[in-house]
Amino acid sequence: METRKIGGLEVSVAGLGCIDFGWRIDAKETVKVVAAALDAGINFFDTADIYGKGLSEEFLGCALGRRRDDVLIATKFGLDMGDERKGAQPAYVQEAVEASLRRLGTDRIDLYQLHRPDPATPIADTLGALQELVRQGKVREIGSSNFSVNQIREAAAARPDGPNFVSVQNELSLIQREALPDVLPECAARGLAFLPYFPLASGLLTGKYRRGQEPPAETRASNRWGPQVFTDKNLKLVEKLVAFAQSRNQTLLDLAFAWLLAQPSVASVIAGARRAEQVRDNVAAISWRLTAADLSEIDEILSRP
């Protein structure tokens, strides 16, 4: 599989988002999903301490087992884990990384990401703590998530004397394009990798949903997860995108991946999966490369009311 750079890491362009582990699937099903990802050539697994309140990291570590050295693990810290365990204060950074290392069953984290900015802590203090983890060998690269352009710039200026963020993980998809006009160009200008989360817009871009039809059972829409995505306006846009993909003998899923991978700075599309066949479908979707004419036509579709 093609790889792209996140700092000094070479990650597969199809990654695996692990948000479902410990939440929507148990340890046994996690093993199946991780095995399918490894078999398909995925080497990049993205999780967070908050996912399943630690269970995602735990399940992922157990599922990888002896294959740990074959892969790159990204995790995140900073969201509320209970008992005042949250934020980006230096003391908590050290506590959080030790907890993640234990749950993952590993001696290092390949990409350690601040899950969101902490307004109560100067970013220079957080970066200082993260740089110390890099020095100790507990973390290889550090990244940010949910950062605005101004926050990216502030972080870049805060600690110019040591390792700094090499990536930004923000929401991006054909449906949610807020990062497109500013954060992505900033990443390109600074040489930062961009990791789109919710790349399939909570499942809307899988092709399972149509206007006027009940959502399939056991899907996020049927469980009222992310209802703000499943609007009539977005479903109309999906119909146009489906027609475009079909005109090229491709699927909506193929288009969702191809469009993201055509964006400057995108390193890996970290879609989640609850079943092995979803992993295989996601990996199959990365083969389409959009032309400049394709991208122009897609832009036109996206810009129409």
209 has catalytic annotation: no
User: Active site residue: 51, 92, 112, 209, which one?
Assistant: 51
Separation CA 100–CA 18 (nearest Å): 14
Main-chain dihedrals φ then ψ at residue 283, nearest 5 degrees: -65, -40
Average pLDDT over residues 242-257: 97
The whole-number average pLDDT for the span 184-203 is: 96
Domains of the chain: 3-210+253-288 (3.20.20.100)
Q: How far apart are CA 203 and CA 103, in angstroms?
A: 28
C-alpha–C-alpha distance, residues 53 and 13, integer Å: 27
86-135 pLDDT, tens digit per residue, is 999 999 999 999 999 999 999 999 999 999 999 999 999 999 999 999 99
What are 133-180's pLDDT values in tens digits? 999 999 999 999 999 999 999 999 998 888 899 999 999 999 999 999
pLDDT of residue 149: 98
Gap between the Cα atoms of 74 and 6, Å rounded: 11
Give the residue ranges of DSSP H helices in the chain. 27-39, 55-64, 90-104, 123-136, 149-158, 183-190, 232-247, 252-261, 276-284, 292-303
Task: Provide the mean pLDDT of the chain.
Answer: 94
> Using an 8 Å Cβ cutoff, are 204 and 175 in contact?
yes
pLDDT in tens, 31-67: 999 999 999 999 999 999 999 999 999 999 999 999 9
- What global pTM score does this model have? 0.94
